[in-house]
Amino acid sequence: MPGIGDTFRILHVSTGNVCRSPITERLTRHFLADRLGDADGSGLIVESAGTWGHEGAPMEANAEAVLADFGADASGFVGRELLDEHVIMADLVLTATRDHRAQVISMGHSAGLRTFTLKEFTRLVRAIDPATLPPLEDGVVERARALVRAAAALRGWLLAPTAEADEVHDPYGAPLPFFRSIGDEIHQALDPVVTALTGVAART
């Protein structure tokens, strides 16, 4: 069990906190549990919020359907507006778009080195040699902190091939097939991140 204060908080950020960031939050939790068995005991805390968050709102029904496709739990979700305290407490902020990233960084709190778009972070993580990260015996929290430091160091050297490459588009109001395509994008971006965090590949 992690000791007091021995935690690592991942914050997913989108606009309304009813579509993209809830999907990303709950998929991250689901994938961590799949890799670790007891994700609650790992010290990793996964949350989400929106830059124009629908405070107290439920997740969009189509977002719930996407999570059901992956076997992830959508229950009990409540939308939140992004607050200073969320950024202050986060060890890693993953945003849906570059605009969200800019908004988080503009809030201050030394957020620049720990705020990435989801796809940007995936690209950087893929370039990091897992052997350079602390072993799992040192704990997932230490490994996660090292991963963020390594990604931040690579950022200026490994640029996106296009501006669009770092974006996850907003499916709000779109039909279920578009939500599912966004869910697939998020899944593909999260998989290498969760593998790097945990040192455990997805079960086939």
pLDDT per residue over 126-174, tens digit each?
999 999 999 988 889 999 999 999 999 999 888 878 888 999 999 999 9
* pLDDT mean over 66-84: 97
Per-residue model confidence (pLDDT) at position 1: 39
Confidence band, pLDDT 50/70/90 cuts, at residue 82: very high
Per-residue model confidence (pLDDT) at position 141: 94
Three-state DSSP class for residue 117: strand
pLDDT at 123 over 90: yes
pTM over 0.85: yes
**Phi then psi dihedrals of residue 13, to 5 deg:** -125, 130
- The strands making up 8-14's β-sheet, listed across from edge to edge, are 44-50, 8-14, 92-95, 115-117
Q: Which of 62, 15, 11 is nearest to 167 (CA)?
A: 15
Per-residue model confidence (pLDDT) at position 39: 57
* pLDDT mean over 4-26: 93
Altogether, the residues listed in the chain come to a count of 204
